[in-house]
Amino acid sequence: MSDTRIYSTPVRYPDEMGRRDDRSVGRRRYLELGLAAGVTTLAGCALDLDRDASAGGERGTTSDRTERSTVPRTTSARPAADPSGETDAPAETDAPAETTAEPERPGGARTFFVAPDGDDDARGTRERPFATVQEAMSRATAGDVVSLAPGEYRQAVFSVRSGEPGQPITIEGPASAVLRHPEGAFSTITIKHSHVHVRGLTIDGLGRPDRPDEVESYAPGPLISCRPRDDQQTYLRDLKLLPSALGNGQSVLIRLIRCSDVEIGEFRLSGMAGANLVVGDEIDHVAEVLYVGTGFNQLDESWYPWDSWDRTNNVHVHHIDNSEGHVHGDFVAFEPGTYACLAEYCTDRNAGHSTDGSHGPSFVHGGRQNTVRYCDVADSPSGVAFDGNETFASYGNNCYHNRIAGIDNYAMAFVEEAPPARQGVICGNEVDGEVGFFNRPGRDPEVDVGAACPVDVPPGDGIGHTGGDGPWS
């Protein structure tokens, strides 16, 4: 596990974070000025944040990995679609269906096997596997594993119940086990419960590989959507999203709403985000690889039923490889309200695609006390942006030891409401490009983004997806 120490100071939120009135559209306004803003990252750090889940999410820190398997942003100009979209989700239940699957894990936990040639009337054993992942999920309880054999699964998957701390419900498979988006579904995997892990398999949103030039061939919703049930006030906890490869969607690929203690990474980006812009003719900029939190202009949407801000926190993003340059909008967008998130050891190319004239960055600092470090960004309109407005300005965010080159606009940008003086540590970056205020062109931000870092800032072990303790190390 890489060193998750970060350079930080205590997080404090103003009173307005508990309210949902007097908000401005925010992000969209700045996009029209030429740059989508903000990035964040900082997980693995336990901050002194004593607040209940309804006010700000449950406190949590990113758990250490005990094994390595081979295992949205929707700040749209159009009316935001319901990011859940699960009209065919299974009924909520705590009681698993009866099963005779054989215990194959310590402590009596079971493994349910799934294979393309299986049968849902079978027992879910290695010799008699199920045909659908959902059948196995309907039976799995805390500590159980749903194991996919190599092959293609044209299925949508929904969580049914939560695991328990130290005993997650795990969906796993080799990279040759491909979960392909099925026709008629919104998201490919929908998680509405805590302690659910996804490891190793490939997730492909291109439902019709024979028609890649038709926007309807791509998943309309996130490939992985994580959000609590509408009647649930507590945040989802302990999610691990560690596929081998993931790609191809009409808009956002991974969406987190009201989540805490999440690990995302160790995968290769295998296809585009934002097919509605690239393949279709929609005028927009919603094409994030990873959208964390909820944008200002979404909090009053019918699909966001909660009365408090989305304070998604302790999200650890690491070792995502987009060295192939699959087109997308923002690579990682941390929205207002997010805190204690960390993005590190990622490689990104070809970010910032849009059809509305905006120039989105690879990383967006929209929250507070988030960190981006050891990342390699190139061949994009913009690199890292610190976002904010008069209602909520990002502050205390860190950005160090990154490499940013081949940038058309700002390599690192700020808004006047979130200047460098309000941020955390910004140092040690290799930057080939302009640094400035994108809403005040010509103003000097008075920061040396490449200055030597303080001695207590961890130097890291390399840059990009091949650095640190990852699958490409």
* pLDDT tens per residue across span 306-348: 999 999 999 999 999 999 999 999 999 999 999 999 999 999 9
In angstroms, rounded to a whole number, what is the distance separating the alpha carbons of residues 218 and 213?
10
- Contact (Cβ atoms closer than 8 angstroms) between residue 141 and residue 169: yes
The average confidence (pLDDT) of the chain is: 82
Mean pLDDT confidence for 223-227: 98
pTM, full prediction:
0.83
Looking at per-residue confidence, does 448 or 75 come out higher? Answer: 448
pLDDT of residue 281: 80
Give per-residue pLDDT as tens, 284-302.
666 899 999 998 888 889 9
pLDDT of residue 441: 80
With bands split at pLDDT 50, 70 and 90, how would you rate the model's confidence at 230? very high
pLDDT of residue 96: 64
Which neighbouring-strand residues pair with 400?
373, 427
189-222: string of b/e by CB count within 10 Å (b at 16+)? bbbbbbbbbbbbbbbbbbbeeeeeeebebbbbbb
pLDDT of residue 419: 94
C-beta atoms surrounding 164 within 10 Å: 13
| pLDDT tops 70 at residue 249 | yes
With bands split at pLDDT 50, 70 and 90, how would you rate the model's confidence at 446? very high
DSSP state letter for 449: T
| pLDDT tops 80 at residue 103 | no
| pLDDT tops 70 at residue 367 | yes
pLDDT of residue 338: 96
- Contact (Cβ atoms closer than 8 angstroms) between residue 413 and residue 436: yes
In angstroms, rounded to a whole number, what is the distance separating the alpha carbons of residues 350 and 247?
14
With bands split at pLDDT 50, 70 and 90, how would you rate the model's confidence at 94? low
| pLDDT tops 90 at residue 75 | no
Of 4-13, 112-121, 153-162, 297-306, the range with the lowest mean pLDDT is 4-13
318: left (phi over 0), alpha (psi -120 to 50) or beta: beta
